[in-house]
Chains A and B, each alone.
Chain A
């Protein structure tokens, strides 16, 4: 499966797709997108690269096990939900900063929550696919 075309394309595709996934993640609150889709796109980016150049390449690129993203994401989402408690609001109430930014719009706890979702999706998808791929390589 390591054809020249795919290998060459993957080198350019991966950074573009990763960037695109972040873009999709950030704009989610106003336009189609969000953490879930963004996470899936990021996973695709890394999986395509892994397909073309081998799992070990992508592991070297990441430097950490993708599984580590799972608890990070869940914690981040949970924290974004607990943050309002410190302002004596109920759990998961949206808190927002003043001012708007391009693409992102207003920044609030919903964005942190979505970033958590993003991490969990990337972590889970990559953990599953890499585990199976490694198992395959060993046979």
Chain B
């Protein structure tokens, strides 16, 4: 399983560089990857059914309990098959949809990274690795939403999505760490078996809260839903794959994964029922008032996600079975509708529902795909959607909590979803052909085959539902709730109450579709409500944060180097002074501890003279040269006190500093004319205080010798044994504190690039 994920990341890396040269052939080649992974996961099926789960463990950061641990169980298998299966269709679809796009290499690169992360997310058996994959999906989603990076709205949408899903993920990380602390392990399968530890923990409320925030942002639950409609700025294959079939279900996946642990605890079920219910209804009602096909689909996706959360909230074994089936159903028909929308967009150049009509004669095959998807979406027998809705109704009827209310809300939401499905899948093909349309592009095989295949699959699976149930759903459901569900899938289950309810929902939905005329008027009216929406609130928060940090930055970094130095030194004085106030360890008499040689006294004398020269001269050249002199004197002192490494470094640094100063001299006025005496006094006070402070500390160290007792003796003793080096300074740099050095050179690299780009920018602005 690790191999599958690693292959995704490596392929992405290779394709990001090589994709440009492979051209169209490359896009077909890379489509083999999801197909191959799909077959790979299918081949694991028999082993999975016989043993219940497949575990793999590679140790990674043992000291923190973070392992590359993977677990394939029934639910993970459903997700893995969806990720690879739908992935394959999206890959080949995009090969045609984005044919000859300039950045096709980037597109497939991001997409493949996403696929790898998504697989990692559902397979992870460790909270921390799960979090890493979780955030990776958010980041790839950011890049893919903003794929058309010249579009301002796309960039904005990408940022909104990243802020919400990434931020939610961070809050979830806090919850994960608390979970790990409470359970004493980060391994998910062990946490799930830890039993009552959580129920007794005082952190339970916080853990549930953090988990809910993370999952609700990812799965676009009210009030975090608004990033999803915005994300429709992405190319249609992306909307299909990330924002409908897979990524947005990650939150649902995680909630389902942990539902055995939290089911019945505190407000878990109530919160899920409440937010799932609101989201379901809100998305459904909003969907039919949109006029952009993708916006309609976005809102029905939100509504569907709400239904899924609602099912987890009910939590019975039937509800979980309904959830799992609905995940498959929704992925099939919604991906079909999205791909259909993309094909229509390609065909006519518009996604406006008011401008699309009468296309049945132009593209009959798309019409067939549209009918199949719409029928499944509506839950009309014998499509798979029928079984999905059947189980959802059955689960809602079983509940003892607010059964009637939940049921009526689901029915109401379904009315709108049916109507929306027909609007997208059927409406563009009916009616009189629209003469105002731009000339039609012919639809090619790769654009109509994927949605058609999804539609046919939904139909076939609906006619033989027991196959899907036995091989995928039951293993997954028993993995979550130990009780086996009493409800089963039959093509025909007789005229039971659920059937009649289903029947009347369809009737009502179709009726709504026939009566309703989409128009811009409704969507404009809805816009006036935006002032009270959560989006408005988030934008205000972002703006406030931006202004605050703008203010702070301008206060502390005003562009004057002397001011920076003053701020840094003042802060240091404050910190060290605070520490000194607490008192020193020793109470030695202050006296000069050593005899000075003539060399030392002479060096210090030169240094003092140089300092005075540097401060009082009015010529810049003299100032620079004197500063260099001070530096060289310090070098000498290092040599006297046998620190050759420091001396060498100081010497070379000083040489280069003087060179830099000389280079910059041309840019500066020749004479130093600082007349503000107030500033001079301020600087004098700061520098004298700081100097005095450092002297006192140096004296203290010399007198007590406290530093020698610490870590330095360890370094000195172990440098040769552990790191085979005799030069302790170097051993510390490259071995003991090697990671520090690595970070330091990275900082150095960034600084170098910063100077380079600043000057280049300055040059290009000039010219």
Inter-chain CA distance A134–B763, complex, in Å, is 10
- Nearest Cβ on chain B to A101's Cβ, whole angstroms: 13
- Taking CB atoms and an 8 Å cut-off, the chain B residues in 744-767 that contact chain A are 745-746, 748-749, 751-753, 755-756, 759-760, 762-763, 766
Q: Are B752's CB and A132's CB within 8 A?
A: no
User: A37 vs B663: C-alpha distance in the bound complex, in angstroms?
Assistant: 22
Among B723, B745, B748, B749, max chain A CB count under 10 A is at B745
Which stretch of A5-13, A56-64, A67-75 is in the interface?
A67-75
Which segment of B33-41, B606-614, B645-653 sits at the interface? B645-653
Residue on B nearest A47 in the bound complex, by CB: B659
The main secondary structure of chain B at its interface with chain A is: helix
Q: Which residues of A contact B751 (CB under 8 A)?
A: 124, 128
0/1 interface trace, chain A 29-59, chain B, CB 8 Å (1 if under): 1111111110011011001000100000000
A129 with B756: in contact, given A29-B734, A81-B742, A117-B741 (CB under 8 Å)?
A: no
Min CB gap B621→A, angstroms: 12
Complex formed: what's the CA distance from A113 to B736 in Å? 13
Q: Which 5 A-B pairs have the closest CB atoms?
A: A124-B752, A40-B652, A32-B644, A29-B725, A131-B759
Residue pair A67, B724 in contact (C-beta under 8 Å): no
Q: Are B756 and A81 in contact (CB under 8 A)?
A: no
Residues of B within 8 A of A113 (CB): 734, 738, 741-742
Is the CB–CB distance between B653 and A34 below 8 Å?
A: no
Q: Which of A19-36 contact B (CB under 8 A)?
A: 24, 28-36
Q: Please state if A94 and B724 are interface contacts (CB–CB under 8 Å).
A: yes
Give 16 pairs: A residue, B residue, CB < 8 Å, sorted on A.
A33-B727, A34-B729, A35-B734, A40-B649, A44-B652, A44-B655, A67-B756, A94-B723, A105-B724, A113-B738, A117-B733, A117-B734, A125-B656, A132-B663, A132-B664, A133-B663
Query: Is B648 a contact of A37 with CB atoms below 8 Å?
Result: yes
Asked if residues B745 and A73 are in contact (CB atoms below 8 Å), the reply is: yes
Task: Say whether B749 contacts A110, CB under 8 Å.
Answer: no
Does B730 make an interface contact (CB < 8 A)?
yes
B735, CB-defined interface residue at 8 Å: yes
A129 contacts B752, C-beta separation under 8 Å: no
B619-631 interface code vs A (CB 8 A; 1 in, 0 out)? 0000000000000
B762 near A135 (CB under 8 angstroms)? yes
Docked complex Cα distance between A36 and B744 (Å)? 11
Most buried by B among A91, A105, A125, A139: A125
Contacting residues, chain B, for A105 (C-beta < 8 A) = 724
Contact with A along B647-684 (1 / 0, CB 8 A): 01100110110011001101100000000000000000
Q: Is A92 an interface residue (CB 8 A)?
A: yes
Contact with A along B90-129 (1 / 0, CB 8 A): 0000000000000000000000000000000000000000
A34 and B734 in contact (CB under 8 A), knowing A94-B724, A124-B752, A129-B660? yes
Question: Is B739 engaged at the interface, CB distance under 8 Å to the other chain?
Answer: yes
Give, as a whole number of angstroms, the nearest-CB distance from A136 to chain B. 5
Across the interface, which residues of A come within 8 angstroms of B766, CB to CB?
A: 138
B659 surroundings in chain A (CB, below 8 A): 44, 47, 51, 129
**Residue B726 interfacial (CB < 8 Å):** yes
CA gap between A70 and B726 in the complex, in Å: 28
The residues of A that contact B729 with a CB separation of less than 8 Å are 32, 34
Most buried by B among A37, A43, A129, A134: A37
- Among B656, B724, B730, contact of A33 (Cβ-Cβ < 8 Å): B730
Interface residues, chain B, with chain A CB atoms under 8 Å away:
644-645, 648-649, 652-653, 655-656, 659-660, 663-664, 666-667, 722-727, 729-731, 733-735, 738-739, 741-742, 745-746, 748-749, 751-753, 755-756, 759-760, 762-763, 766
In the bound assembly, the distance between CA atoms of A61 and B659 in angstroms comes to 20
Q: Give the distance in Å from the alpha carbon of A106 to the alpha carbon of B763 in the complex.
A: 47
Give min CB distance, A14 to chain B, whole Å: 14
Known: A41-B652, A47-B659, A120-B749. A28 touches B667 (CB 8 A): no
Closest partner residue, chain B, to A43 (CB atom): B656
Given known pairs A67-B753, A129-B663, the reply for A92 and B738 (CB within 8 Å) is yes
Residue of B nearest to A30 (CB): B726
| Contacting residue for A30 out of B655, B727, B738, B752, CB 8 A | B727
CB B292 to nearest CB in A, in angstroms, measures 44
Question: Chain A residues in contact with chain B, CB under 8 A?
Answer: 24, 28-37, 40-41, 43-44, 47, 51, 67, 70-71, 73-74, 77-78, 81, 91-92, 94, 96, 105-106, 108, 110, 113-114, 116-117, 120-121, 123-125, 127-129, 131-136, 138-139
Q: Is the CB of B749 within 8 A of A47?
A: no
- Residues from chain B with Cβ under 8 Å of A73 in the complex: 745, 749
Q: Which of B648, B748, B749 contacts A71 (CB under 8 A)? A: B749
Bound Cα distance A30, B730 (Å): 8
Which residues on the A side are within 8 Å of B648 (C-beta)?
24, 32-33, 37
Residues of A within 8 A of B722 (CB): 94
Point out the residue from A24, A108, A124 that lies within 8 Å of B748, measured CB to CB: A124
What residues of A have a CB within 8 angstroms of the CB of B763 in the complex? 134-135, 138
In the complex, the answer to whether A31 meets B755 with C-beta atoms within 8 Å is: no
B656 — which chain A residues lie within 8 A by C-beta? Answer: 40, 43-44, 47, 125, 129
Complexed CA–CA distance, A138 and B766 (Å): 10
Report A-chain residues with C-beta under 8 Å of the C-beta of B649. 36-37, 40
Q: Do the beta carbons of A94 and B735 come within 8 Å of each other?
A: yes
A110 to B666 alpha-carbon distance, docked (Å): 42
A43, B660: Cα distance in complex, Å: 12
Are A136 and B666 in contact, with the CB atoms below 8 A? Answer: yes
Q: Is A40 a contact partner of B752 (Cβ separation < 8 A)?
A: no
Known contacts: A128-B756, A129-B660. The answer to whether A28 contacts B749 by CB under 8 A is no
B645 close to A32 (CB less than 8 A): yes
Q: Given the interface contacts A29-B724, A37-B649, A129-B656, does A70 sit within 8 Å of B753 by beta carbon?
A: yes
Give min CB distance, B519 to chain A, whole Å: 56
Docked Cα-Cα span, A43 to B666, in Å, equals 22
Quick check: B666 and A139 within 8 Å, CB to CB? yes
CA–CA, A79 to B472, complex, Å? 43
Output the least CB separation between A85 and chain B (Å).
Answer: 10
Which residues in B have their C-beta under 8 angstroms from that of A110?
A: 723-725, 731, 734-735, 738
Shortest beta-carbon distance, A55 to chain B, in Å? 11
Interface contact A128-B752, CB-CB below 8 Å: yes
Please name all residues of chain B whose beta carbon is closer than 8 Å to the beta carbon of A124 when the two chains form the complex.
Answer: 748-749, 751-752
- Shortest A122–chain B CB gap in Å is 10
In the bound assembly, the distance between CA atoms of A132 and B661 in angstroms comes to: 10
Known: A29-B726, A67-B756. A132 touches B660 (CB 8 A): yes
Of all chain A residues, which has the CB nearest B762?
Answer: A135
A124 to chain B, nearest CB (A): 3
Within the complex, the shortest CB–CB distance from A121 to chain B, in Å, comes to 7
Q: How far is the CB of A31 from chain B (nearest CB, A)?
A: 6
Whether A34 lies near B733 (C-beta < 8 A) is yes
- Chain B contacts for A91, CB-based, 8 A: 739
Task: Give the CA-CA distance A33 to B655 in the complex, in Å.
Answer: 17
Q: Give the Cβ gap from A110 to chain B, nearest Cβ, in Å.
A: 4
